[in-house]
Structure 1
């Protein structure tokens, strides 16, 4: 029984921990429902829900499970001076930055409703960003061995990361997601070794197109591409 209905929620500007707690709450309910369903006959099982959350965070650095603490180049005083917070979290990946002007997406999906392939899931999220960039006239893509979306992928010395990714999944339920630099203050990336990669720069949509894009328009375009790729039925 596949349910491709997906509830879209724009959380706006929200504290990182508050958004994380909200994700965890939805994630746990979905996983718990799947555990209960396994004990029931097909006609008694309840459909699992899907969510797509968009938001922005105040300045924050987050370190994934496999991350290296040395990749944060600020001490407690430095964090305070930058008005930034820091969290060790339960997604994959190393360290990254979130802040105003960055579009963060948290799909909390039961992949049993779509396809049970975490690599395909990541590639679809990347593809949604790549298609959004294309709509703004910018060619972007992937670099072998690295997650996320990059500009100038054919020139290793000039390659720039525009979208970072880090996800967690359990029983094919996903959480965490992507961070797309739209109008981001890129100077905050100078305080970390982004995703543990010290020989690649970061960029933003604003920097690439030479003007500040309308965030609401970017959201609508990206939301459309995610919906199309996953064949979702989005509702607010």
Structure 2
């Protein structure tokens, strides 16, 4: 079992370019697993964690409802935003500047073969990170992601999640609002959930801007501990 995870910081990168890159790494891992099985070999598979910040983009998961995008193609252009239907789980979400997006491309055979546990650990990574800023973040029953003030009229989502997995290899991941422009969420029904607000860390902390690099380092620390991974 290879518990090394190669961390790649892609900086600011177009959504489609990043999706294509994810697919490449994902397929290479799948191909190796299939070859290992066919040839009765044991060549170790690689694990990756990609960090990226996207330009304004809306993505719709395979089970999502396109009516949850509330603006026309023309309006999208005016807002310098793009739209993609993609192959992750979940409904519609927004990515943009001021958001830390993480794409773990892991062979869960190297860790544990349990997608439910995988999602819960990603949520826990974010919950522990936000706790370092004095925020009590938590899960909302039946709603993947990380929330604040769950069970109250003020419940709001701070981190969205949606993943794809095949033969225990994962792709897509999480999007944590750090310095996000929340106005862009007004143009969708986020994650298909009506009447729930979204928030961003800078709003919760009452700051103009939060250090993104600092957040990323904390996420990595908790990821390594929770997954018992060696980051390279």
* Length-normalised TM-score, structure 2: 0.98
Indicate whether 1:27 and 2:26 are aligned. yes
Displacement of 1:39 after TM fit? 2.0
1:50 alignment counterpart = 47
1:174 alignment counterpart = 170
Displacement of 1:40 after TM fit? 2.8
Other structure's SS at 2:191 match: helix
2:161 alignment counterpart = 165
Indicate whether 1:204 and 2:185 are aligned. no
Indicate whether 1:119 and 2:121 are aligned. no
In structure 2, C-alpha distance between the alignment counterparts of 1:154 and 1:223, rounded to whole Å: 29
2:37 alignment counterpart = 38
In structure 2, C-alpha distance between the alignment counterparts of 1:154 and 1:85, rounded to whole Å: 33
Structure 2 residues without counterparts, runs of 5 or longer: none
Displacement of 1:59 after TM fit? 0.2
2:4 alignment counterpart = 5
In structure 2, C-alpha distance between the alignment counterparts of 1:221 and 1:150, rounded to whole Å: 18
The superposition leaves residues 100-153 of structure 1 with CA deviations (integer Å, 9 ceiling, x where unpaired) of 000000000000000000000000000000000000110010011100000011
For residue 73 of structure 1, the aligned residue among 45, 70, 75 is 70
Displacement of 1:205 after TM fit? 0.6
Indicate whether 1:151 and 2:151 are aligned. no
Indicate whether 1:131 and 2:128 are aligned. yes
Query: What RMSD in Å do the two structures reach over aligned CA positions?
Result: 0.6
Runs (4 or more) in structure 1 with deviation over 2 Å come to none
Indicate whether 1:224 and 2:221 are aligned. yes
In structure 1, C-alpha distance between the alignment counterparts of 2:193 and 2:159, rounded to whole Å: 14
In structure 1, C-alpha distance between the alignment counterparts of 2:223 and 2:18, rounded to whole Å: 20
Number of matched pairs: 231
Other structure's SS at 1:54 match: strand
